[in-house]
Structure 1
Amino acid sequence: MDIRVFLLAIAAITVGLVELVVGGILPVIADDLHVSIATAGQLITIFALVYAVSGPVLLSLTAKMERKKLYLIALSVFFIGNVFTYFSPTFTLMMVARVLTAASAALVIVLSLTITARISLPEKRAKALGYIYMGISSSLVLGVPIGIVLTNAFGWRSVFLGIAILSLGSIALISKFLDEIPTGHVQPLSEQVKALGNKKIIFAHLATMFMLAGHYTVYAYFTPFLEETMQLSPYWISIFYFIFGLAAVSGGAFGGSLASKIGSTKSILFILGAFALSLFILPYMTFSTPVFLIIMVIWGALSWSLAPPQQDYIIQSDPASSDIHQSFNNSALQVGIAIGSGVGGVVYNQTGSVTVMPSVGGIIVLIAFICAAISLSIAVEKTRSRKAQKQTVYE
């Protein structure tokens, strides 16, 4: 693997840690800042909202800035935001710090993706993007247990100090090993906004959003699912989460490798179809722990496999606007997480049972499959149209 891609993946891991790490230490933060747990939970909400919006906006506003310089500025702001979090004496100031870290993290992630796409050979691009997403998924999955361990040992503020130190390491490595990257052709903001009218890519974004929504409809309530269906103790639930996390971390690399072998379009449909199937059969596999673990590992690996082929497909579909579309696709991912968590909550409140959630999640993923199929059919239709036009001119 290109050492530069490896360094970008490390930076993605660093900034990704800060998003969900709060989830596992909310009671401690709430107690220290003298707010309720529900109020402290807004630290996650504000981060997700700012992250989803700021990525595309900041990418457009900084379109003419040299990429390495912009990357280092974003990492520096991220460092400042975490130091600010470490010293925040009140909840209000911590919310301000979360806005800083969310905006800068969103820019770092989308720059990691766009820079990786530029420095990678076309035939290796999907695989390289898979490594970036492996970094993102590993930070989201492993951030919570890491945060709990550090909090128990050194207090919750040490978590953000540690992330700040890691970001300094990323700044040093990027400064030394990443060459300057020119902006290339920059479309005016008005043209970038018009690019959102591309139905083919809009349906690709919707596929990303609905897949993550279907996933988090189940994953956000996986603990009560395991308690209700398999009567697992907290110890074994943590083991299951760890196994799931390892599978999810491998998902990005799997998706990238699959796209390199069979192509991005085939990979997208295969992953979405297999993912929906894994959710539908999940509740029926609880009769046997080994069988359930196999299906759970497949579910976990597929949960982060779509992104690399999807990003590669977007780049191929609209190269001129690929940067802004990569950013929007990353935002769609965040919106999907929020939607899925909300849908899961509604289903749980209405039914009082978590056993139906995998079926609901599977249906939502089927919607993602339909969106992807529509996007791909538009792509095929446009290709046929161009061939017909060429044939007409030839005749």
Structure 2
Amino acid sequence: MDFRVFILAISTITVGLVELIVGGILPIIADDLNISIGTAGQLISVYALVFAIAGPVLLSLTAKVERKKLYLITISVFFLGNIMTYFSPNFTFVMIARIITSMSGALAIVLSLTITARIVDAPSRAKALGYIVMGISSSLVLGVPLGILITNAFGWRSVFLGIAVLSIGSFILISIYLEKVPIGEAQPLSAQIKALGNKKIVFAHLATMFMLAGHYTIYAYFTPFLETNLHLNQYWISICYFLFGISAVGGGAFGGNLANWIGSKKSILIIIGAFALILFVLPYTTFSFPFFIVVMMIWGALSWSLAPPQQDYIIQSDPVSSDIHQSFNNSALQIGIAVGSGIGAVVLGKTDSVTSTATVGGFVVMIAFLCAVISLSIVSGKSKQVKETPVDTH
């Protein structure tokens, strides 16, 4: 695999850490800033909302800027946002800093995806995108325990100082190892908005959104699920999260390799279908802790396996507008996280049973499967010109 892909994946990990790393330290942040935990929680929700909007908009506004130069500028702004967080005297400044890091982080991740798609050959594209997704998933699932560990040792502000230092490393690596990347065919914002008129890709975005929504319907409430069904203490809950995180990190590579092997279209249906099945089965595996762990790790791997074949499929379906659609797909992921968390809250309020979140999540993923089927069944002019050929990687 091209060494530059690994550099971009490392940068993606650094940028992705900021989003959910505050999740496990909200009470400490709230106490230090003299605000409620609910108010502190806005640091997550506002970040996700800004991230979802900023990615496509900033990608469009910077369409004429050379990609490497833009990446370095973006990482610089990201660095400043984290330094601002470290020195922020109150909640208002922290929120402003979060908005800055969210906007720059969204653009950096989209650039990692789009640059990767350009610098590798088409047969290796899905696999390469899988490594970028590994970076995204690892930062999201491992950020929470990492944030707790650093906060306990050095205080919550040091978390953001550490991320700022890591971003310097990313800046240096990108400067040295990534050559200039052509901007490609620039499109005005109006034309890129019109790209959403492509129903084939819109349903692909919806598949991504409902897949993550189904996942977070239960994952957002995984701790009470473990406490209720398996009666685990904090030590074993931490072990479960760690194993889930390791599986999720590997899921991106699995999705990319599967797409290289059998093609992106088949991979999308297999991954979403298997994911729905796992969620339906999950509540019935708690009779045996070892058996539950195996099923849970499969769930974790599948949770981040969709992105590589989905991104590859989007590029095949509309090569001209692929950059903006990759950004939209990343936004759909963020919206799915927020929607899923909300659905889970409603389920808990209506049923008072955390076990039901898995079943409801399974039905939400079935909606994702239906959206994927609809997308794949639509034949567009662009897709007729692209013949997908599975690549033998052995």
Give the distance between the partners of 2:54 and 2:382, measured in 1 at CA: 32
Q: Aligned in 2, Cα 1:384/1:13: closer, same or farther, shift over 3 Å?
A: closer
Give the distance between the partners of 1:276 and 1:215, measured in 2 at CA: 9
Percentage of matched positions with identical amino acids: 72
Question: What does residue 306 of structure 1 align with?
Answer: 306
Give the distance between the partners of 1:76 and 1:379, measured in 2 at CA: 42
Question: What does residue 158 of structure 2 align with?
Answer: 158
Gaps of 5+ in 2: 388-394
Instruction: Say whether 1:103 aligns with 2:118.
Output: no
Instruction: Say whether 1:205 aligns with 2:189.
Output: no
Q: Deviations over 1:60-80 (max 9, x none)?
A: 000000000000000000000
8 Å CA contact 2:316, 2:386 repeated in 1:
no
8 Å CA contact 2:60, 2:187 repeated in 1:
no
User: What is the DSSP-based 3-state SS (H/G/I as helix, E as strand, rest coil) of the residue aligned with 1:253?
Assistant: helix
Task: Give the AA of the match of 1:60.
Answer: S
Following superposition, the deviation at residue 379 of structure 1 comes to 3.0
Task: Give the AA of the match of 2:231.
Answer: Q
Question: What does residue 252 of structure 1 align with?
Answer: 252
Greater Cα radius of gyration, structure 1 or 2 = 1
Task: Give the AA of the match of 1:98.
Answer: R
Give the distance between the partners of 2:252 and 2:182, measured in 1 at CA: 27
Give the distance between the partners of 2:385 and 2:79, measured in 1 at CA: 50
Q: Aligned in 2, Cα 1:163/1:380: closer, same or farther, shift over 3 Å?
A: same
Q: Deviations over 1:194-241 (max 9, x none)?
A: 111000000000000000000000100011111111111111111111
1:1-395 to 2 correspondences below 5 Å = 1-379=1-379
Q: Aligned in 2, Cα 1:36/1:290: closer, same or farther, shift over 3 Å?
A: same
Task: Give the AA of the match of 1:308.
Answer: P
Give the distance between the partners of 1:238 and 1:190, measured in 2 at CA: 47
8 Å CA contact 2:251, 2:305 repeated in 1:
yes
Question: What does residue 390 of structure 1 align with?
Answer: none
Task: Give the AA of the match of 1:258.
Answer: L
Q: Deviations over 1:270-299 (max 9, x none)?
A: 000000000000000111111111110110
Task: Give the AA of the match of 1:209.
Answer: M
Q: What is the count of residue pairs matched by the alignment?
A: 387
Runs of 4+ deviating beyond 2 Å: 379-387
User: What is the DSSP-based 3-state SS (H/G/I as helix, E as strand, rest coil) of the residue aligned with 1:379?
Assistant: coil
Following superposition, the deviation at residue 385 of structure 1 comes to 11
Following superposition, the deviation at residue 383 of structure 1 comes to 6.2
8 Å CA contact 2:199, 2:375 repeated in 1:
yes
Give the distance between the partners of 2:97 and 2:386, measured in 1 at CA: 50
Give the distance between the partners of 2:383 and 2:30, measured in 1 at CA: 56
Give the distance between the partners of 2:72 and 2:32, measured in 1 at CA: 33
Task: Give the AA of the match of 1:115.
Answer: I
- Whichever structure has more helix as a proportion of its residues is 1
User: What is the DSSP-based 3-state SS (H/G/I as helix, E as strand, rest coil) of the residue aligned with 2:22?
Assistant: helix
Gaps of 5+ in 1: 388-395
Q: Deviations over 1:155-212 (max 9, x none)?
A: 0000000000000000001001100011021122221111110000000000000000
Give the distance between the partners of 1:327 and 1:97, measured in 2 at CA: 22
Following superposition, the deviation at residue 117 of structure 1 comes to 0.1
Give the distance between the partners of 1:256 and 1:300, measured in 2 at CA: 16
Q: TM-score, normalised by structure 2?
A: 0.97
Give the distance between the partners of 2:10 and 2:75, measured in 1 at CA: 12
User: What is the DSSP-based 3-state SS (H/G/I as helix, E as strand, rest coil) of the residue aligned with 2:378?
Assistant: helix
RMSD after superposition: 1.4
Q: TM-score, normalised by structure 1?
A: 0.96
8 Å CA contact 2:267, 2:309 repeated in 1:
yes
Q: Deviations over 1:7-31 (max 9, x none)?
A: 0000000000000001110011001
Task: Give the AA of the match of 1:244.
Answer: F
Q: Deviations over 1:45-64 (max 9, x none)?
A: 11001100000000000000
Q: Deviations over 1:125-155 (max 9, x none)?
A: 0000000000100000110111101100000
Task: Give the AA of the match of 1:331.
Answer: S
Task: Give the AA of the match of 1:289.
Answer: F
Task: Give the AA of the match of 2:377.
Answer: S
Q: Deviations over 1:317-374 (max 9, x none)?
A: 0000000000000000000000000000110011111111111000000000000000
8 Å CA contact 2:318, 2:382 repeated in 1:
no
